[in-house]
Structure 1
Amino acid sequence: MCGIFAYLNCNVKRERSYILQVLFNGLRRLEYRGYDSAGISIDSSSVSLPPLVFRKEGNIESLVKSVYQEVDATDLNLEESFLTHAGIAHTRWATHGEPAPRNSHPQSSGAGNEFLVVHNGVITNYEVLKQTLIRHGFSFESDTDTEVIPKLAKYVFDKSNEDSGDMAVTFSQVVLEVMRHLEGAYALIFKSRHYPNELIACKRGSPLLLGVKELREDSSKGSLFHDDKYPSQNGNPRELFLSSDANALVEHTRKVLVIEDGEVVHLKDGGVSILKFDGDKGKRGGLLSRPASVQRALSVLEMEVEQINKGNYEHYMQKEIHEQPESLTTTMRGRLIRGGTCKAKTVLLGGLKDHLKTIRRSRRIVFIGCGTSYNAALAARPILEELSGIPVTMEIASDLLDRQGPIYREDTAVFVSQSGETADTLHALEYALQNGALCVGITNTVGSVIARKTHCGVHINAGAEIGVASTKAYTSQIVVMAMLALAIGGDAISNQARREAIIDCLFDLPNKVREVLKLDQEMKDLAKLLIAEQSLLMFGRGYNYATALEGSLKVKEVALMHSEGILAGEMKHGPLALVDESLPIVVIATHDACFSKQQSVIQQLHARKGRLIVMCSRGDAAAVSLGGACSRVIEVPQVEDCLQPVVNIVPLQLLAYHLTVLRGYNVDQPRNLAKSVTTE
């Protein structure tokens, strides 16, 4: 996972200082995607001079400080204006090589920076390419897989100019030939001193968007898209942006194009040409063969700048925890139907309506996800089994692939991913498609790979989530899967009362979450008691086994404290050996079918002097405290059992947040983690 960003101004004067700020701000919006090192490239004062490259380990502010120090040392003129200028930027989450300037991007073709590349993804055959390039005289400075790409571009450029004589090779031809040799997942942006004021972007698997900002009222009359052979010369003033994520575009423009896999997007003369990469055609036709250009319509971002700002909150995670009443409302808007006097309450999921009959005929439903998304699916499994009567199995995406577990044509495979680009989940999707299963996507990202490649799906519509630790996306995922269960369950008379009770509870769920958020100070006080602890156990069962897993994951990933979620029914099969008077233990014992069993768990833990923190339904404190044996009782509102995980996770999110802040760690950028894992 990395963030890539580019900015090209065409026929509008921009000072170097302005260009730098656009690039820096773009990286700030993408920093949740990686923050161990960063870099940018801008032009020198003359196109005859190599582009300038700045790279630095650490966060974006470390890069900004380093750039301005270098500017001062070299007397670079920040007030110099450019009518047209192309700059690229990158923020890194290390996969190949430690965080260091030499491993940061942009990666270069060598002395003179003839070709520069920023990259998100992994090149799986880079070792073979590297050895081939070494045999052709190239030397390597970094440990990255990315460095082979600009060096390969230089090799292709030099070789093609030797072979083609007077016929100059185009930038897009160079990139198409480079793509033909690359294996793996990637989003790439190329900059070259041989093609000044041009940029080329391409992708396979990793996300990439183009943003377009018109700077003159009548500029819409001119063409944006053009054929690469006949570039546009209309002179319209425009700013063009490339980004891994819409977050970095929304403050500039809402007109975007989601770049598809295999597309090569060439920005030149203020216009855009899109070529469709065809590896086989390149092999048959040679280097100078050229695929046909395509034109696609721009779409409008349904996002506001306010969504990606912290507002009055100290951190994004804090903001996103407190946004959950609104995100849940948005998730359900237009999908819950109360019905009238003659009409039953029901759910309408437009993305699934044409496939519901097929899903109901499935032999089984397979939930596939990773991390928090897997936990959300686990929380929803019982209600789906109850209402549909279809067996539901759970698969961690990487494990499914490692085992090559059986997926059948009669199966429905549900892929749960907040970003829609999680690498293991994408590979599992390809595997399920090959095996003929009906594939359903549940994501928070319109236009993501999972949203495009599945047969049908649901957008959870939780809004932008910047904090690395997922909060509001998790609760919205559970709600969407509960609605999925209602939709699949149909209108069986035997389940009507149960379905209507769940729908009524869904309507009131945002208010219940608002009530839980009032526990903020109580959870901060609890965090103060736990600040010096080394470990924390969480026991749950039934619907709330997933709550124990997700709560412990939150503590683990942001507070950097060992925490384990345990199925309470397994307590006596090993975990009980860990219990003593020094170990804090959270037991989730809200009032559902497992309540009496959790009371028994509390008694057994108390008998072994465990330090108990019990979460219970409002009014049940006396029933779970065993005459004051618990060190803390957390009371939450009672809702329908299948939706209780949405309510119960909120105090644990608050606990993880306050533990992290009190322990002095970066809550939005936890150590070694990034928002979405696009590498295996």
Structure 2
Amino acid sequence: MCGIFAYLNYNVNRERRFILQLLFNGLRRLEYRGYDSAGIAIDHDQPLVFRQEGNIESLVKSVYQEVDALGLDLEESFSVHAGIAHTRWATHGEPAPRNSHPQTSGDGNEFLVVHNGVITNYQVLKETLIRHGFTFESETDTEVIPKLAKYVFDKANEGEGSHTVTFSEVVLEVMRHLEGAYALIFKSLHYPNELIACKRGSPLLLGVKVMMSKSDDIKDCTARYMPALQALHASVNVSLWLGFNQEFNEESNSGSTFHDSKFLSNNDHPKELFLSSDANAIVEHTKKVLMIEDGEVVHLKDGNVSILKFDNDKGRHGGSLSRPASVQRALSVLEMEVEQINKGNYEHYMQKEIHEQPESLKTTMRGRLIRGGSCKAKTVLLGGLKDHFKTIRRSRRIVFIGCGTSYNAALAARPILDELSGVPVTMEIASDLLDRQGPIYREDTAVFVSQSGETADTLQALEYALENGALCVGITNTVGSAIARHTHCGVHINAGAEIGVASTKAYTSQIVVMAMLALAIGGDTISSQTRREAIIDGLFDLPNKVREVLNLDQEMKDLAKLLIAEQSLLVFGRGYNYATALEGALKVKEVALMHSEGILAGEMKHGPLALVDENLPIIVIATRDSCFSKQQSVIQQLHARKGRVIVMCSKGEAVSVCPGGLGRVIEVPHVEDCLQPVINVVPLQLLAYHLTVLRGYNVDQPRNLAKSVTTQ
């Protein structure tokens, strides 16, 4: 998906060289999202636009060449300056400078726009603008936006008696004509040193960094927090001031602030303001952020932040250029650290994130698993769901909804949810649910699983479920994400920042969260007490078991060397590990660019057996669980057909799964059956990683893929 970054300094002197480097570094923080071109816009006599196909370093090189050719002074200082930047992932038009962003209104760069998303009615708008004399240079859907802004501006200012139209009025009018999903930042020659951001369905956040003297800081803090403390003392309900969904807040380590009006009101404090598609590009500058909501228009001018709420229906019936009332929002504090988004001593983010799983699992479980104490109880606490468990237990069914890896994680947890909850559990791929408008009832609990919390299909499915009256639960890794804000309740998995496009540690943390969810829904029934306590003990020991399986790194690298020239790979799983087969195959195909397919072993005789020969490598997951004997039978049938079998089994089971030493064996630690998918997926993650590196591909930015699919 595209990445957006913008920087505005107010009463803070910054040289042009500093501004350029800050914009470039902002784009580098967004590289992991996937892109094929990039661009920036900075101030001069008129806004200067630089766009380049390829990576960010190509853009950097071309910018400095053009700056030198133009004779611009890199040491020139600006007390106020607004710059915008963008990484593009091509959807409309090939990767090329003309299709890169910022897109412009035409000669003079009167209006510039960077965009993440898709404008679905761009063709109609384009034809209309062409009839009014506009010429288009790109194949993008985005170009209609700055040209529409110029059209609105020109129309509002023509004729006698026309009033001076504001930047926000222009943008609001443009928004009334746009259909689709978008996050936009506008910059204009007519409104120097101003930026406007707005969104509908795509992520965007504002970072605020205010410079104050110590005496000003003390006065300001007193002014800001005294009213809130007085209100709290008077037992006023302050829950409306929380920056995120309240139920999620109880679960997360992220601290919301009281309403911080000082940061969003008129003052002359020097400040720096940042806009970005995600927190990775902001956290090194400030931790104070505002998660921009759908329909909000955020206007940065004279060091102030104004927020307007766009009402599409009201705008259409209320006449053009009408100004909606302003709204107030609370700033929140990011808990992530810059170190989380650096690679450290690892070669790649995917490698780092695979090896971080013992710690990410610990963080996911911290404060949620209770073992011991005065009553020697073994229980699970999920504060974000505590007020909703009765509703969930009385549900007609629990519906898990997700896409890709998140769907696979839910599938891995489904058996234990079936077993402990006593409620029928069904699975839905978000896009398929929407395509067929599958039934969702008021008596259902719909659980939405998403690493980013911004996945387009999952968000649309959430809207659909809300419309149908279901209780909506979110499971996401991203505090303040759309799913976190719009579900009734939920759990943050707290796996930490995941930069690699291929999800690894978020997947295992999602499984653990859903296993804890099964324990919490199941309650303390006597019949399942022994089973529950065994699972809780297994969860406590799980990080150590994952650390143990990571010792297979070299063994998986050696296996990758044997498979490097192969064109295809099959992975057979069953029961708890059907999802492991799907996820392992998905990792291989998305990063190693090798065809791989996860297959339910019980379906082997219904078609897949025809593919078996002495050349096709087949991984069979046969760790010790209730399906073990059935998987032994599968292995025997594959050997009978001279299949090239690689078996993953529990330690000490090599002889029983491969009698006579036939085939290659990967031995992993044994844990409770419902937790075995966490262990078993790690060697497959390592295999995918090493296959990719050995094949010479970019493991962190696979071809054609983006980290968070927020557009369809």
Shorter-chain TM-score bucket reads: over 0.9
Structure 2 unpaired stretches of 5+: 225-259
1:595 paired to 2:591: no
Find the counterpart in structure 2 of residue 31 from structure 1: 31
SS of aligned partner of 1:21: helix
Which residue pairs with 2:15 in the alignment?
Answer: 15
Q: Residues 74-89 of structure 1 correspond to what in structure 2 (within 5 A)?
A: 74-89=70-85
Q: Which residue of 1 aligns with 2:335?
A: 302
Q: Give the CA deviation at 1:566.
A: 0.3
Task: Using the TM superposition, give the Cα deviation of residue 432 of structure 1 relative to its aligned residue in structure 2, in angstroms.
Answer: 1.0
CA displacement, residues 555-576 of structure 1 (integer Å, 9 cap, x when unaligned) = 0000000000000000111101
How far residue 163 of structure 1 moved from its aligned partner, in angstroms, is 5.7
Q: Which residues of 2 match residues 231-310 of structure 1 at below 5 A?
A: 232=266, 234-310=267-343
> Residue type of the partner of 1:287?
S
CA contact (8 A) 1:263 1:276 kept: yes
Q: Which residue matches 1:64?
A: 60
* Distance of 2:32 and 2:48 partners within structure 1: 25
State the partner residue of 1:644. 676
Q: Name the amino acid aligned to 1:43.
A: D
Alignment partners' CA distance in 2, 1:343 and 1:121: 52
Of 58-67 and 463-472, deviating more is: 58-67
Match of 1:615 among 640, 648, 671: 648
Q: Is the 8 A contact 1:339 1:346 kept in 2?
A: no
Letter in structure 1 aligned against 2:571: M
State the distance in 2 between where 1:280 and 1:604 align.
63
Change (3 A) 1:208 1:383: same
Distance in 1 (alpha carbons) for counterparts of 2:87 and 2:53: 10
Q: 1:668 maps to which residue?
A: 700
Q: Do 1:603 and 1:626's aligned partners in 2 also have CA atoms closer than 8 Å?
A: no
Give secondary structure in 2 for the equivalent of 1:662: helix
Q: Which residue does the alignment assign to 2:607?
A: 574
Pairing 1:5–2:5 present? yes
User: 2:207 matched to 1:211?
Assistant: yes
Match of 1:112 in 2: 108
Matches of 2:379 and 2:17, distance apart in 1: 56
Cα-to-partner distance string for 1:347-396 (whole Å, 9 max, x where unaligned)? 11111111111110111111111000000000000000000111111111
Q: Distance in 2 between matches of 1:204 and 1:552?
A: 34
Q: Deviations over 1:617-675 (max 9, x none)?
A: 01101111221111x21111000000000000000000000000000000000000000
SS of residue matched to 1:9? strand
Determine whether 1:481 maps to 2:510.
no
1:61, CA displacement in angstroms? Answer: 1.4
Greater CA drift, 32-41 or 537-546: 32-41
Name the SS of the counterpart of 1:342 in structure 2.
coil
Q: Tell me what 2:50 maps to.
A: 54
Aligned to 2:562: 529
Aligned residues: 672
- Cα displacement (A) at 1:279: 2.1
1:42–1:53 contact (8 Å) kept in structure 2:
yes
8 Å Cα contact 2:430-2:461 kept in structure 1 = yes
Q: Which residue of 2 aligns with 1:678?
A: 710
In the alignment, the residues of structure 1 paired with residue 372 and residue 126 of structure 2 have an alpha-carbon distance, to the nearest angstrom, of: 64
Conserved 8 A contact 2:156-2:163: no
Give, in whole Å, the separation in 1 of the partners of 2:415 and 2:280: 35
Which secondary structure state, in structure 1, belongs to the residue aligned with residue 187 of structure 2?
A: strand
| Residue in structure 2 matched with residue 190 of structure 1 by the alignment | 186
C-alpha RMSD of matched pairs (Å):
1.5
Give yes or no for the alignment of 1:453 onto 2:486: yes
CA contact (8 A) 1:35 1:60 kept: no
Instruction: Give distance in 1, aligned partners of 2:297 and 2:336.
Output: 26
Distance in 1, matches of 2:479 and 2:351, equals 24
Cα deviation per residue 1:204-252 (whole Å; 9 max; x = unaligned)? Answer: 1111111011223356567986899xx83x4321111001100001111
Q: For 1:165-197, what per-residue CA distance to the aligned partner results, in whole angstroms no more than 9, with x for missing partners?
A: 352111111111111111111111000010000
Q: 1:164 to 1:637 in 2, by over 3 A?
A: farther
Could you tell me how far apart the structure 2 residues matched to 1:583 and 1:678 are?
Answer: 36
Check whether the contact 1:211–1:253 (CA below 8 A) recurs between aligned residues.
yes
Q: Unmatched 5+ residue regions in structure 1?
A: none
Q: Return the TM-score normalized by structure 2.
A: 0.93
Distance (whole Å) between structure 2 residues aligned to residue 68 and residue 607 of structure 1: 65
Q: Secondary structure at the match of 2:106?
A: coil
For residues 432-581 of structure 1, the aligned pairs below 5 Å read 432-581=465-614
Pairwise CA distance, 1:32? 1.6
Match of 1:172 in 2: 168
Cα displacement string for residues 512-539 of structure 1 (whole angstroms, at most 9, x for unaligned residues)? 0000111111111111111111111100
In structure 2, C-alpha distance between the alignment counterparts of 1:618 and 1:227, rounded to whole Å: 58
SS in 2 for 1:338: strand
**1:439-470 Cα distance to aligned partner (Å, 9 max, x none):** 11111111111111111111111000000000
Q: Give the letter aligned to residue 540 of structure 2.
A: F
C-alpha distance in 1, partners of 2:169/2:592?
49
How many angstroms apart in 1 are the aligned matches of 2:474 and 2:636? 42
Q: TM-score, normalised by structure 1?
A: 0.97
Local SS of the residue matching 2:428: strand
Out of 112, 118, 125, the position equivalent to 2:121 is 125
Cα distance, 1:73 vs structure 2? 2.5
Q: How big is the shift at 1:283?
A: 2.9
Deviations 1:24-54 (CA, angstroms, capped at 9, x unpaired): 110111112232111100011xxxx321101
AA aligned to 2:693 is V
Change (3 A) 1:164 1:554: farther
Kept in 2, the 8 Å contact 1:226–1:271? The answer is no
* Separation of aligned partners in 2, 1:211 and 1:186: 19
Q: CA contact under 8 A between 2:202 and 2:711: conserved in structure 1?
A: no
Letter in 2 for 1:320: E
Amino-acid identity (%): 87
Contact 1:582 1:611 in 2 (8 A): yes
Q: 2:461 matched to which residue of 1?
A: 428
State the Cα deviation string for residues 316-358 of structure 1 (Å, max 9, x = none).
Answer: 0000000000100000111111143425311111111111111
**2:212 aligned partner, one-letter code:** R
Distance in 2 separating the partners of 1:285 and 1:217: 46
Tell me the SS of whatever aligns to 2:284: coil
The one-letter amino acid of 2:25's match is: N
Contact kept, 8 Å, 1:27 with 1:60, in 2: the verdict is yes
Equivalent residues in 2 for 1:316-331, closer than 5 Å: 316-331=349-364
Which secondary structure does the structure 2 equivalent of 1:241 belong to? Answer: strand
User: Is the CA contact (8 Å cut-off) linking 1:57 and 1:99 kept in structure 2?
Assistant: yes
Alpha-carbon distance, 1:68 to partner: 1.6
The residue identity in structure 1 corresponding to 2:428 is: E
Between stretches 286-295 and 267-276, larger displacement belongs to 286-295
Contact 1:592-1:641 at 8 Å conserved across structures: yes
Q: Distance in 1 between matches of 2:493 and 2:461?
A: 20
Greater mean alpha carbon deviation, residues 645-654 or residues 292-301: 292-301
Amino acid at match of 2:151: Y
Counterpart among 377, 390, 395 of residue 410 in structure 2: 377
Q: Which residues in structure 2 correspond to 1:385-424 (within 5 Å)?
A: 385-424=418-457
Q: Deviations over 1:244-284 (max 9, x none)?
A: 10000111111111111111111111111111112233234
Residue 87 of structure 1 deviates from its aligned partner by 0.2
1:351 maps to 2:347: no
